[in-house]
Structure 1
Amino acid sequence: MSKLKRSEYEALLEPMQLELVALARWLQATGKRLVVLVEGRDTAGKGGVIDAISEHINPRQCRIVALPKPNDREQSQWYFQRYVAHLPAAGELVLFDRSWYNRAGVEKVMGYASDAQVKAFLRQAPVFEQQLVDDGILLFKYWLCCDQEQQEKRFAQRHDDPLKGWKLSPIDLKARELYAEYTHAREAMLKATHTDIAPWTLVDFNDQKLGRLTLIRNLLDRLPDTRIASPVTALPALPGEPAKEHYGTLKPIQAFTV
């Protein structure tokens, strides 16, 4: 299949983004809580699909969580503790750009967690997620699949583009050499944490545009009917002439000109 053109992608995405706006309205009306975990290799496309989901939703209702490495205090806590603080309240959607599954992925492969810590995590994660679902949270877990050839192309783009250079860290460079190790870690993670109550969904992200459309469509289709009547508000005419803005002694800078 040939890659989607930008115009084709946007035409297919727009109606789904309207459904996402309706989803946000449904969450507010029902008080439901929604958590979406987006996991995958470096360069898989996690940020792009999260942006596509959140683009037209009120940021006070839709939060993106991308935590840095834990500090000394957080390292001494129960592993899941700092993630619990970011779970949604009623009517909210939280998108995790990487999540507690860091322990079974990068922390395991890069040696930041011991074998005992990883084993404990794989035992505890299904129990933790069972508790979230039992409490009424809607939980969806996605893994973005990306072949090494595509990953290398994207690493090269980051390296050559000064606007994307911040995405290329020493850890990313090391990960290039550990593709097989990440595969083994992922398979162990899926085996231990793919459960009936919180299953994993794998999405092909070798074509990122097609991957975004596939993931969003899957998410929307797995939710209950989210159609809520949109509040109809009239926009009456102003009673008089529109007022001019006044600035006192301060003056606005002039508009940018080409």
Structure 2
Amino acid sequence: MADKPGTRAVELDFDGRKRTYDVDDPNLPKWVDEKALSSGGYPYDKKMPREEYEQQLRLLQIELVKVQFWLQATRKRVMVVFEGRDAAGKGGTIHETIAYINPRYARVVALTKPTETEQGQWYYQRYVYTFPTAGEFVVYDRSWYNRAGVEPVMGFCTDAQYEKFLKETPRFEKMIVSEGIHLFKFWLNIGREMQLKRFHDRRHDPLKVWKLSSMDIAALHKWDDYTQKRDRMLQETHTHNAPWTVVRANDKRRARINVLRHILTTLDYDGKDKKAIGDVDDAILGFGPHFLK
């Protein structure tokens, strides 16, 4: 973050009203702070209490250890794809998902932009190389769905490439599932003010400042474009074989708990403790494009 404070103030349009936002200003604007949690139609007015969160998280992580043993015994494979806007909470959710799984059997895939060689290959090819082998649990911090969001919004692919992706991806994912791989696709959804708050938190936290990029700031004016691409992606690629699980993620704690509950509820592993897993919160987690309507 080499820019000087005050050099990246932007004027944003919120419901026809102009708002000034400067990520370098150490003081978070009041209009952001007051609306962050409720933004985007979030259903709760308070975060999940930390003590309750930590108690439930521990129980769920114990269940994930059972999943690890089950994968090793059965040689089954799991792929978990996390998508969402910048600062949606993908990294933290991934961390809690695999925190206590043996790293020999759990991997995080977070690919950088394609090399010149990869640009000349079949689009999905570099992702296929990362697929799980027998007994593995592989988590994706963004995925092939870059072509459904950031690439068309920021002009990194052509319209023809974008349309081809939307047409071919359901067939590609049907092949994955037909191979016997358990495929989960999560879209973590946050409101606009929450994104601004999290950008501000990153900018002023010396341990997280690396997470904020110049592209994040450049994309602030493209909220509506990202929304349109999100909605079309969910519409075109939500299928019976590979459904989208949508999570309202303004509260990271509730989001993480419900992501783990959904994974654990879906997998038929040995020794499952349904009471420990609990019930998914239907106000937080749903399926397909209609959940955000």
Equivalent AA in structure 1 for residue 92 of structure 2: G
Normalising by structure 2, report the TM-score.
0.76
TM-score when normalising by structure 1: 0.86
Say which of 50, 56, 59 aligns to 1:12.
Answer: 56
* Residues 1:137 and 2:181 aligned together: yes
- String of CA shifts for 1:90-121, please: whole Å, max 9, x gaps: 00000000000001010111000100001111
Partner of 2:239, secondary structure, is coil
Is 1:87 aligned with 2:94? no
- C-alpha distance in structure 2 between counterparts of 1:148 and 1:195, whole Å: 27
Larger Rg: 1
Match of 1:148 in 2: 192
1:41-190 map, 5 Å: 41-190=85-234
Cα distance in 2 between the residues matched to 1:60 and 1:75: 30
| Structure 1 residue 170, shift from structure 2 partner | 1.2
Moved over 3 A (4+): none
Instruction: List gaps (5 residues or longer) in structure 2.
Output: 1-43, 273-293
1:160 Cα deviation from its structure 2 partner:
1.1
Structure 1 residues not aligned, in runs of 5+: 229-258
* CA shift digits 1:191-244 (9 cap, x unpaired): 11000000001001010111100111011111113328xxxxxxxxxxxxxxxx
Q: 1:207 aligns with which of 242, 245, 251?
A: 251
CA distance in 2, matches of 1:14, 1:83: 31
Secondary structure at the counterpart of residue 148 of structure 2: coil
1:233-252 → structure 2 map (5 Å cutoff): none
Structure 1 Cα separation of the partners of residues 247 and 145 of structure 2: 17
Please say if residues 152 and 159 of structure 2, whose CA atoms lie closer than 8 Å, have aligned partners that are also in contact. Answer: yes
Deviation at 1:7, TM superposition (A): 2.3
Per the alignment, in what secondary structure is the counterpart of residue 178 of structure 1? helix
Q: How many residues align?
A: 228
